[in-house]
Amino acid sequence: MKTKDPYPDGWKPTTRYPDPAVESLDPSFDKYRLPSAGIERLATGMRWCEGPVWFGDARHLLWSDIPNNRIMRWTEETGHVSEYRSPSNFANGHTRDRQGRLVSCEHGGRRITRTEYDGTITTLMDNFEGKRLNSPNDIVVKSDGSVWFSDPVFGISGNYEGYKSEPEIAQNVYCLDPETGEAIVVADDILGPNGLCFSPDESILYIVESRGIPNRKILAFDLGKDGRTLSTKRVLIDAGPGTPDGMRCDVDGNLWCGWGMGDPELDGVMIFAPDGRPIGRIALPERCANLCFGGRANSRLFMAASQSIYALYVNVAGAPGG
C-alpha cells in the first residue's frame, strides 16, 4: 500500500545535519546552532498564520489563522492539529500575561482581550479617548503586568482579515494597565507600527516600522525609569528589501525576526545581534510572519510562516515575556 506523501507541495525536511537551511552569517551565531537539529513542519493548510504563543503547562502551541477567522492548536504530545477557537474575531497577535492567561489582539473586535482560566473572554481595551482602536496587531506583556501593543490599520483596510472600515484614530503603540484600565500612547510617530518586543532586561523596546520610507525598519527605544516613557528613538536595523514582521529576543539579547516578501531568497527568519548586526538566517519555503520560543527549555523556535507552522530546536532560550 502506497503511503500518502505528508509533503504534497514538495517540501521535505533535511536528511543532512547540520541543516543547510540554518546559516551562520557571523561566527557569533555558531553557538546557537545545534548540529543535529533540523527544521520541522508541524502543520500546514492555513491561509495566513500569525501570533504563535507557547503554553508549556498544556504542552501546546496556539496561533492565528487570520483569514479563516480561527485560532489553531498544535499539541506537542501527539502532534495533533485542531481548532482552539472559531470564530476568533479575526485574532492576530497573542501572548501570555504573567498569570499565564492568553492575551490577544483582535481585528474583528478592534480590541485587546484576555481569556480567563474558565474560558470566558474579557475585553481589556477597545477604544482610546472615546475613539475605536484600528486593528490591534502585535502584543507583549511586561514583567510589571502592563500590556503593550501596536495598532495599525491593516485589519480594517479590507474584508480579508477583518471588516473594512475607516480609522477613527492614529496608528499608535499603547501601554495598558489591565488592572486600572488606564492606557497611554507610548509612540505615535511610527509608520505602520507592527511587531514589538522587549530586550531581556526590559530597558529597550523594539518596534517594527512596516511602512517605513524608503525601507521598512526595526526601531529601538530606551525605557525611562518609570517603565512607561520611551526615548532615544533610533533605527537599529534598516531592512532594505526585506520585510520584518513579528520578533522575539533570546536571553542573550539577540533579535529573531520573521522575514520575507518579494524575493523568495529572503523568506524565513533573520537573527540580529543586540547592536543590529545580522548574525544568522533560517531559510523557509514561505514568508515568516511571526515566531515565539517554547518547548521544555524555552529553546524551540516556533515559526508562523504564511500557510504553515515550522519549528527548530536552537541552543539558546527565549527571553521571558514572549
Binding residues for substrate: 137
188 is catalytic: no
Select from 317, 322, 303, 319 the least CA-distant residue to 260.
303
Contact by Cβ (8 Å): 61, 53: yes
Select from 206, 227, 228 the least CA-distant residue to 217.
206
Catalytic residue, candidates 245, 250, 252, 267: 245
Rounded distance, CA 263 to CA 302, Å? 22
Residue 275: strand, helix, or coil: coil
Strands, DSSP E only, in 177-266? 183-187, 193-198, 204-209, 217-223, 230-238, 247-249, 255-259
Helices and strands, number each (H, E), in the chain: 0, 27
Residue with cell string 524555552? 298
Q: Which residues are annotated as a binding site for a divalent metal cation?
A: 50, 194, 245
Q: Which residues are annotated as a binding site?
A: 50, 137, 194, 245
Catalytic residues: 245
